[in-house]
Amino acid sequence: MENNLPVNVREYQELAKKALPKMAYDYINGGAEDEHTLRENIAAYGRIILRPRVLVDVSKIDMSTTLLGYNMPSPIIVAPTGGHKLAHPEGEKATARAAASCNAIMVLSSGSSYKIEDVASSCNAIRFYQLYVYKWREVSERLVRRAESCGFKALVLTVDTPMLGRREADIRNKMVFPPSANLEELKKINVDTTGGSQLEGFARATLDPSLSWKAVEAGVAGVIVSNHGARQLDYAPATIAALEEVVKAVAGAVPVLVDGGIRRGTDVFKALALGARAVMVGRPVFFGLAARGEAGARHVIEMLNGELEVAMALCGCRSVGEITRSHVMTEGDRIRSLL
Ligand SMILES: Cc1cc2nc3c(=O)[nH]c(=O)nc-3n(C[C@H](O)[C@H](O)[C@H](O)COP(=O)(O)O)c2cc1C
Ligand SMILES: CCCCCCC(=O)C(=O)O
């Protein structure tokens, strides 16, 4: 295998499927209910066409950008995904090392299999911490304090999960989530598993469904256009289809990021052209981790970076700042051009 490495994310997905027990693969790959949004997250990228420019000197391509004052060699961030031990015994420690070796920011999930402290000490890197708000605010507060003292630089507040979406594969498989090392104090919570998925029962017992817009009063330094990888509300729009509207509404006040369905460097390019400052990728890194551990997760990030570089060169863009709205044609553009 090592002589014959996958050449794209889809091939990593196939390897991950072979490597993992069905329950783990279904959990990682699955979406909510009919998985309409899951398919759309990817398909909507396929409906956006690139408009290349030629005869531009692209002998130097600079993919670097900044976010919240941090320099990034490329606009690709590792999205928060829980339970990396499902994919590999080294779990988030391996993912963190992979991200660090690419100088990519990793957002550590509240549902990580390894403790915040273990991930922090596994390697040096800029990292953000993803926070769920629990019914007991002091539980969330303690997580924030721990992340802060471990040097995490920003909080990514997940607000789309007042309860877990219906992931039918998990219900069928009676999904058991690896105990989150960070939530020891919630271990004694009574979890009703009659619904099938233990994770769903845990989320229902612990997440605060009363979270409201008042949370915004604290201020935000960025917005992420996300549908949780299509795992929450099925028939919610594909994120790339919603991006431009959000970018317009935010009007430059804070950077806008997007995740969901990014499987190619061309997808990253399209997201940037439609106004995203950076993108986050979830499943691709998880698939890499499942297939080849740290090396696989790193290779996925490297491949996406490599694909983005080629896309930029072939579109005549020497820096991310040169990627503009005029480099893409959306379905809306095509319809408007016919009117
Ligand atoms: C297996 C899995 C676990 C996830 N766990 C979390 C989580 O713990 N916290 C969170 O905010 N989002 C979580 N997400 C959502 C991701 O942060 C991200 O929105 C999504 O993976 C992006 O879509 P993609 O997988 O198509 O790249 C998870 C997604 C997946 C696929
Ligand atoms: C307390 C709930 C942790 C859930 C973490 C996983 C998650 O968000 C997912 O989409 O799955």
Question: Is the model's pLDDT at 106 over the cut of 90?
Answer: yes
Among 274, 262, 255, 265, CA closest to 229: 262
pLDDT band at 333 (very low <50, low <70, confident <90, very high): very high
Residue 88 confidence (pLDDT): 98
Question: Is the model's pLDDT at 9 over the cut of 60?
Answer: yes
Q: Are β-strands 49-50 and 328-329 bridged in parallel, bridged antiparallel, or unpaired?
A: antiparallel
Residue 290 confidence (pLDDT): 98
Q: What is the ipTM of this complex?
A: 0.99
Q: Which residue has the tokens 């029962």?
A: 201
Residue 316 confidence (pLDDT): 98
Q: Are 177 and 202 contacting, i.e. CB atoms less than 8 angstroms apart?
A: yes
Distance of CA 303 to the CA centre of its chain: 16
Q: Are 50 and 269 contacting, i.e. CB atoms less than 8 angstroms apart?
A: yes
Q: Are 303 and 90 contacting, i.e. CB atoms less than 8 angstroms apart?
A: no
Least confident range of 73-77, 130-134, 152-156, 210-214: 210-214
Question: Is the model's pLDDT at 23 over the cut of 60?
Answer: yes
Largest CA distance in the chain: 64
- Answer yes or no: is the C-beta of 281 below 6 A from any ligand 1 atom: yes
Q: Are 70 and 98 contacting, i.e. CB atoms less than 8 angstroms apart?
A: no
Question: Is the model's pLDDT at 3 over the cut of 80?
Answer: no
pLDDT band at 182 (very low <50, low <70, confident <90, very high): confident
The model's pLDDT over 320-332, given as tens digits with 9 standing for 90+, comes to 999 999 999 999 9
Residue 2 confidence (pLDDT): 63
Residues in the annotated binding site for glyoxylate: 27, 132, 167, 228, 231
Q: What's the mean pLDDT in 278-284?
A: 99
pLDDT band at 187 (very low <50, low <70, confident <90, very high): confident
The model's pLDDT over 119-155, given as tens digits with 9 standing for 90+, comes to 999 999 999 999 999 999 999 999 999 999 999 999 9
The model's pLDDT over 148-175, given as tens digits with 9 standing for 90+, comes to 999 999 999 999 999 999 999 999 999 9
- Answer yes or no: is the C-beta of 282 below 6 A from any ligand 1 atom: yes
Best mutation site among 29, 37, 84, 109 for ligand 2, i.e. most ligand atoms within 8 A of its Cβ? 109
Best mutation site among 20, 42, 81, 175 for ligand 1, i.e. most ligand atoms within 8 A of its Cβ? 81
- Answer yes or no: is the C-beta of 82 below 6 A from any ligand 1 atom: yes
Q: Determine how many CB atoms are found less than 10 A away from the CB of residue 9.
A: 22
Of ligand 1's listed atoms, the one at least distance from the Cα of 260 is 23
pLDDT band at 215 (very low <50, low <70, confident <90, very high): confident
Percent of the chain beyond pLDDT 70?
99
Q: How many angstroms is it from 81 CA to the middle of ligand 1?
A: 5
- Answer yes or no: is the C-beta of 305 below 6 A from any ligand 1 atom: no
What average pLDDT does the structure give for the chain? Answer: 96
Task: Tell the residue nearest (CA) to atom 6 of ligand 2.
Answer: 82
Q: How many angstroms is it from 26 CA to the middle of ligand 2?
A: 14
In the chain, domain spans: 9-338
Q: How many angstroms is it from 84 CA to the middle of ligand 2?
A: 11
- Residues recorded for the chain: 339
Residue 192 confidence (pLDDT): 86
Residues in the annotated binding site for FMN: 80-82, 109, 130, 158, 226, 259-263, 282-283
Question: Is the model's pLDDT at 216 over the cut of 80?
Answer: no
R_g of the chain, CA atoms, integer Å: 20
Residue 186 confidence (pLDDT): 83
In angstroms, what CA-CA distances link 75 with 59, 213, 301? 20, 28, 11
Of ligand 1's listed atoms, the one at least distance from the Cα of 110 is 8
CATH of 9-338, one of 2.40.128.130, 3.20.20.70, 3.40.50.970, 3.40.462.10: 3.20.20.70
Q: In this predicted model, which residue has the larger pLDDT, 55 or 4? A: 55
pLDDT band at 181 (very low <50, low <70, confident <90, very high): confident
Residue 126 confidence (pLDDT): 96
Interatomic CA distance for residues 122 and 265, integer angstroms:
28
